[in-house]
Structure 1
Amino acid sequence: MAELAAHQAVAEIDDGRAEVWLLNEGNPGWLGVTIAEVTADKAKELKLPAARGVILSRVEADSPAAKAGLKANDVITEFNGQRVEDTLQFRRLIRETPGGRTVQLTFWRDGRAQSVSVELGAFPDKLEGHGFGPKEFKFEMPEFGGKLFGHDIFLQQGPRLGIDAEDLRGQLGSYFGAPDGEGVLVRDVASGTPAEKAGLKAGDVIIKIDGERVRTVHDLREKMRAKRENKTVSVSVIRKGTEMSFNVEVEQPRPSAERKKLISRRISI
């Protein structure tokens, strides 16, 4: 796992305070784009076949993306043949690919799919020199997030499990015994989290939340977001070919008047 270097800052939100952690993750690949989620309205506007993928809202000059010919409003739909669901997944795919490696991207432009090879660069440390330490500042924050020094800030939008996960499909999904070969593979379970306390383990494949089918990380996020009022959720997994269920006492997001921990992830990847 990439080494994490964290810098702490303190911000005021409403009448409360928040701890903001800016994560600098090892030496990930860099594409040089700003990305946004594909909404149903945006999918219709761009004539997409489905509301998935990521929109390139900005392409930096002289970046790997620009050199490959990618443009603003292109929609990335596949990464090395893997379907792209949302921004969280796409950031992970870029982050886990070393700079200097060439990747194949499928994108949607002018009503049709196209492909391009892109040699990723090394991610520049844009926070270097900001001199982060405990300090107070004010910034505008919408209900569930905002930006800080060009970074995305994500507030917890639903009950927290405490896992690192990825989409599982195709032959690998069948190997793990997932129904229809689809599910969410648990890559890592953080220590002391609700998932660990309930007994979830790396290698489990999540297939249901409270009996509702889960096929992708996007499904999992949406279903967990809908459980904001729940104290416990039932998580069904496949483990070594056997389906089992765990009752997880989840952590709820805190109101803004309380102290919050915000995780900052780069919006430019």
Structure 2
Amino acid sequence: MGVHEIKVYTGYMGQSYLNHEQAPNAYLPRPRFVFHVTPGSVAAGGYVEPYPAQKIPAAEISLAGADVSITPVQGPVQTRAVLRGSGFPAKAPVSVIWGTHAGSRVSGNGFAPKEQDLARLIVGPDGRLDAPLQIPEDLGGMHTLTIRSGDKTLARTFFATESSVVSISPTSGPPGTPVTIHLKGVGWTDFDNIYVATYDNAYMGYACGFNSQGDVIVNFTAAGSPGTHLIDFYPGIYQGPATDQQLYRLPQLTYADDHPGNKIPALRFAFEVTSSPKR
């Protein structure tokens, strides 16, 4: 509690430049703010900030007169959705194919698109489809749902899988307590395949979801004095051009305004550090 000073430094590669008065860009401002922390409490646990609406591409139609859509168009894994379509061959058997990616940027084996059967349906006598679907556990980000008759693609629509919090466990304990955070639906592109973690605003590291198909488990040790401690997972950029400012694998505090690629929110957690047992 009390007065806390916040300084915004200029710098390079995500690091603060201390003798800025002697820098060639000393004319740049270095704002300072004061924040008053007041008494209060935060419930232990975790949550996802409100998810921005994703930019969903228009359906791709290969069969003249056909149409296809899915409702809702975004949500976490295991979302119950409804696939609707019209203009398909009456009483024809069709397959719904889920499109994703699989692989790794680190192993050297690369990555590639991957498809899996999600459902097999029979078109109604009026050429319509109306089928409930459950979004599979998979990577976050954009996925395709393709309507196929044999090897022929008839139509394709899109669904955006959101990152979600499964759990933080435990939510309290003395210093030294092992803590696990479990996420699902973490993405695969360079813009959304990592979350960068801070503990009480101090950098912890980053977690990647591509190699584990979006299922992320982060283990760490609780530390600090008794009271509430905040763990934040921020969007970041995994990698990019090795020129100019390389702000990679760092928390992007302006994520809500200008994070590239998919618009993903921060994840917020609180852990209650209790007193160590007396010996």
Superposition TM-score, scaled by structure 2 size: 0.23
Larger Rg, first or second structure (1 or 2): 2
Superposition TM-score, scaled by structure 1 size: 0.23
Structure (1/2) with the larger strand percentage: 2
Structure (1/2) with the larger helix percentage: 1
